[in-house]
Amino acid sequence: MQNPQTLTATDIRKSFDGTQVLKGISIQVTKGQVLAIIGPSGSGKSTFLRCVTQLETVDSGEISICGETLVKNDAAGKAVYANKAVCAKIGLHIGLVFQNFNLFPHLSVLQNITEAPVRVLHKSKEEAETIARDLLKKMGLSEKADAYPCQLSGGQQQRVSIARALAMNPDVLFFDEPTSALDPELTGEILKVIRGLAAEHRTMVVVTHEMKFARDVADYVVFMDNGVIVEQGPPEELFDHTQNERTKAFLSRFNET
pLDDT tens digits for range 101-131: 889 999 999 999 999 999 999 999 999 999 9
Q: What is the pLDDT of residue 1?
A: 37
- The β-bridge relationship of strands 172-176 and 94-97 is parallel
pLDDT of 165 reads 96
CA distance 36 to 234: 10
Give the pLDDT of residue 182. 85
Percentage with pLDDT > 90 across the chain:
85
The pLDDT-based confidence of 255 (bands split at 50, 70, 90) is low
What pLDDT score was predicted for residue 257?
Answer: 47
Query: How far apart, in whole angstroms, are the C-alpha atoms of residue 242 and residue 231?
Result: 9
pTM: 0.92
Cα distance between residue 12 and residue 60, in whole Å: 6
Q: Which secondary structure element, helix H or strand E, spans residue 252, and what is its range?
A: helix 245-255
Average pLDDT of span 139-157: 95
CB 159 within 8 A of CB 189: yes
Backbone angles phi, psi at 197, to 5 degrees: -65, -35
Q: What is the pLDDT of residues 195-205, one digit of tens each?
A: 999 999 999 99
User: What are the distances in angstroms from CA 57 to CA 48, 70, 101, 253?
Assistant: 10, 10, 22, 33
Mean confidence (pLDDT) of the chain: 93
Q: Which residue has the higher pLDDT, 3 or 67?
A: 67
Is 116 exposed, middle or buried, given 0-12, 13-18 or 19+ CB atoms closer than 10 A? Answer: middle
Q: Is the pLDDT of residue 4 over 80?
A: no
